[in-house]
Amino acid sequence: MKRVNLFIDETAVTVEAGTTIMEAAETLGIRIPRLCYHPDLSIEGACRVCVVEVEGSRNFIPSCATPVQEGMRIRTNSPEIRQARRDLIELIIDNHPRECQTCERDGNCELQDLSYSLGVRERLFEGKRKRHDIESSSPSVIRDAEKCILCRRCIRVCSEVQGIHNLSQLYRGFDTVVAPAFESPMNDSVCIACGQCINVCPVASFLERPSTERVWEALADPSRHVVVQIAPSIRAAIGEGFGLPVGTPATGQTITALRRLGFDVVFDTNFGADLTIVEEAHEFLGRLESGRNLPMLTSCSPGWIKFLEHFYPELIPNASSCKSPMQMLSTLTKTFYAEKTGIDPARIFMVGVMPCTAKKFEIERPEHFHPSGYPYTDAVLTTRETIWMIKAYGIDFTKLPDGEFDVPLGFSSGAGDIFGTTGGVMEAALRTAAEKLTGKPLEKLEFTEVRAVEGLREASFELAGKTLNVAVANGLNNAKILLERVKSGEKSYHLLELMACPGGCIGGGGQPYPPEGHYVLDPEVIRLRARALYDIDEAKKVRKSHENPYIQKLYQEFLGEAGGSKSHELLHTTYTPRTPRGIK
């Protein structure tokens, strides 16, 4: 590799050819201020905040978009550069609402941080400001174009990571707005509700549709029996909201915090995950035998499912008909648990604490309502909303003692825990399916081959004389690659695990904004959160879903057999092609 020598702030530095000035400066410990830049997305060069002085150049140069050249002399901090950056931020702020104190991102906003660190202390460019209404048609994602600073990160993540291409810049100049095609409401667009636009937005132009008020009300209503469940990935990420190092498991503290908030019962979505595996393994073995509708596609991720309905409706018959773990658990709470305790299911208020904004969409799907009209899940809180509620109450999370889940819907195997990370559903399914196929206990429980940290993985296993071809994808651009291989017949798979978000649920659109020193979609954050889940799994005695004693009891007492008529009525669902049709 060719090396290039240059000077940054009069310090000699040697880097590989092709390195940008911004990256070269980082090797010297200089973090040039930036706004539209994101290390895992394409280079935009839209904001110009990262400008530097290059000797011999007439203009200031955007350091994110400029590769180093031999002998370059760069100044990152001359008075002129400092002034230019300050002016740029002042101009952006001038066209931005003055609502910091009432804004969702107050204290956690990249524009606010830059304004402070660059020394913007007065407003010199008072001028016309754009006006847009808040667009809140989607149950998941709210779009507030008035706060938008046109950095295009949302557009890039939606197309480059998710392959949805739902967002674009419309109109021009002062009228420019980021929106779906024809400025349609998000709910009438191909948006799959994953919430990655929320994650990457440096300001508050995209936010989840809040559910906290409804949950507070239910908690304060003595006539309500308020039940909460937490998704596998919550325990691996929630601690970040309270200053705990990334990857600190916080299952026990989360349970205690939820009890303090006033939830009557705390269940674990992991139980639903175990149940999903038992049902899905049964479904899968049936398909293997008949050879029909293979490969089977997993159905836990509601963002992925909405993607399937918009972009690949022809593959709907391949999707597992299993409800997601959350919906299985909610359904059982309002049927099995209600029956057992004698509580009127209409009185139960079921809350899901989820890493996911698409879950807010999922609970509003008509398939997820009890025949008598009430929803199986009443509200979904993202990890961020839950952190906020705990803080709003004044609970000192890090000092809490560990709590325990309620039984029976709170006990889970380690297979349930790893649902929260990419490859986890596949691994959990293989642990159960392999034993059912071979009739023998597994010698080794880990299927590390399917842990698709890089976004896409394929693996083959020999089981009971059969070759099983499986693949795992996270991030929908990776899912597209697999589905195209399926459609072209290039590969013959048996089982595909698909997750909408990068890294799986641990990288979900409702997870905490990255802590200091990390960035959104940072693979290191994903890796550490995944590690937390694998550690929890390894420490458990029961690590196979079908060996969860409460699952076995549930079948004996209530459901009958896996894939039986009661299971089908309560635990399975249907999907439907959606318009507008997505463009692949």
Partner 1 sequence: MTGTDVKTILHKDIVKFIRECLKKDHPDSYLIAVLHKVQGRYGWLSEPHMAEVAQLLQVPTATVSGVATFYHFFRLRPRGRFAISVCLGTACFVRGADEIVEAFRSELGIGMGETTQDGLFSLETSRCLGVCALAPVVMINEKVYSKVTAKQVPELIRQMQEG
Could you list the active site residues? 280, 283, 300, 320, 359, 362, 367, 505
* Residue (158 or 471) nearer to partner 1, CB: 158
CB nearer partner 1, residue 174 or residue 342: 174
Query: Which stretches of 110-198 are assigned E, i.e. beta strand?
Result: 134-135, 141-144, 167-170, 177-180
- SS3 assignment, position 505: helix
Residue 130 binds partner 1, judged by CB under 8 A: no
Q: Between 244 and 481, name the residue whose CB sits nearer to partner 1.
A: 481
If the CB atoms of residues 201 and 381 are measured against partner 1, the closer one turns out to be 201
Region from 90-98, 159-167, 223-231, 450-458 binding partner 1, contact rule CB under 8 A: 159-167
- Strand 177-180 relative to strand 167-170: parallel, antiparallel, unpaired? antiparallel
User: Given candidates 82, 130, 132, 165, which one binds partner 1 under the rule CB under 8 A?
Assistant: 165
Helix axes 325-332, 269-290, angle to 10 degrees: 110
Which residues are CB-contacts of 345 (< 8 A; sequence separation ≥ 6)? 334, 335, 338, 370, 374
| Listed ranges 172-180, 316-324, 414-422, 500-508: which one lies at the site for partner 1 (CB under 8 A) | 172-180
- Tokens of residue 344, six digits: 């009127």
Instruction: Identify the three-state secondary structure at position 362.
Output: helix
Pairing of strands 11-16, 3-8: antiparallel
- Check residue 169 for interaction with partner 1 (CB under 8 A): yes
> Binding mask 173-212 vs partner 1 (x if CB under 8 A, - otherwise)?
------xxxxx------x----------------------
Query: Closest separation between CB of residue 172 and partner 1, Å?
Result: 5
Identified binder of partner 1 from the candidate list 65, 91, 170, 343, rule CB under 8 A: 170
* Nearest-approach distance from CB 190 to partner 1, in angstroms: 8
Q: Is residue 20 a contact residue for partner 1 (CB under 8 A)?
A: no
Contacts of 58 (CB under 8 A, 6+ apart): none
Nearer to partner 1, 125 or 171 (CB): 171
The neighbour count for residue 249, using CB atoms within 10 Å, is 21
DSSP bridge pairs for 301: none
The separation between CA 467 and the C-alpha centre of its own chain, rounded to angstroms, equals 32
CA neighbor of 141 nearest in space, from 374, 306, 317, 324 = 306
Q: Which of 172, 399, 440, 541 binds partner 1 (CB under 8 A)?
A: 172
Instruction: Kindly tell me which residue out of 20, 166, 196, 412 binds partner 1, with binding defined by CB under 8 A.
Output: 166
Between 314 and 404, whose beta carbon lies closer to partner 1?
A: 314
- Per CB under 8 A, the list member of 142, 167, 227, 459 interacting with partner 1 is 167
583 binds partner 1 (CB under 8 A): yes
CB nearer partner 1, residue 509 or residue 582: 582
Least spacing, CB of residue 480 vs partner 1, in Å = 13
Among 90, 19, 91, 80, residue whose Cα is nearest residue 54: 80
Q: Does 484 bind partner 1 (CB under 8 A)?
A: no
Closer residue to partner 1 (CB): 45 or 403: 45
Residue selected from 108, 136, 168, 293 as contacting partner 1 according to rule CB under 8 A: 168
How far apart are CB 166 and partner 1 at their closest, in Å? 6
Selected binder of partner 1 within 98, 123, 292, 581 (CB under 8 A)? 581
Dist CA 476 CA 509 (whole Å): 13
In this structure, the dihedral spanned by the alpha carbons of residues 24, 28, 29 and 31, taken in order and rounded to 10 degrees, is -30
Query: Rounded to the nearest whole angstrom, what is the least distance from the CB of residue 486 to partner 1 in the complex?
Result: 15
Helix or strand run (H / E) with residue 73? strand 73-75
DSSP string of 371-415, one letter each residue: TTS-BS--EEEEHHHHHHHHHHHT--GGGPPP--PPSSTT---HH
Binder to partner 1 among 69, 78, 117, 171 (CB under 8 A)? Answer: 171
For partner 1, the closer of residues 469 and 477 by Cβ is: 477
Beta strands in 86-195, from DSSP E residues, in sequence order? 134-135, 141-144, 167-170, 177-180
The distance of closest approach from Cβ of residue 160 to partner 1 in the complex, given in angstroms and rounded to an integer, is: 12
User: Is the backbone peptide bond immediately before 295 cis, with ω within 30 degrees of 0?
Assistant: yes
| Contact pattern from residue 297 through residue 336 relative to partner 1, giving x for each residue in contact according to CB under 8 A and a dash for the rest | ----------------------------------------
Collapsed DSSP state (helix, strand, coil) of residue 534 = helix
User: Residue 522 to residues 40, 113, 272: CA-CA distances in angstroms?
Assistant: 8, 19, 29
The smaller minimum CB distance to partner 1, of residues 167 and 201, is found at 167
- Residue 580 interacts with partner 1 (CB under 8 A)? yes
- Quick check: bond before 580 cis, omega within 30? yes
- Which residue matches tokens 């016309």? 128
Q: Rounded to whole angstroms, how far apart are CA atoms 132 and 142?
A: 13
Residues that bind partner 1 (CB under 8 A): 159, 165-172, 179-183, 190, 580-581, 583-584
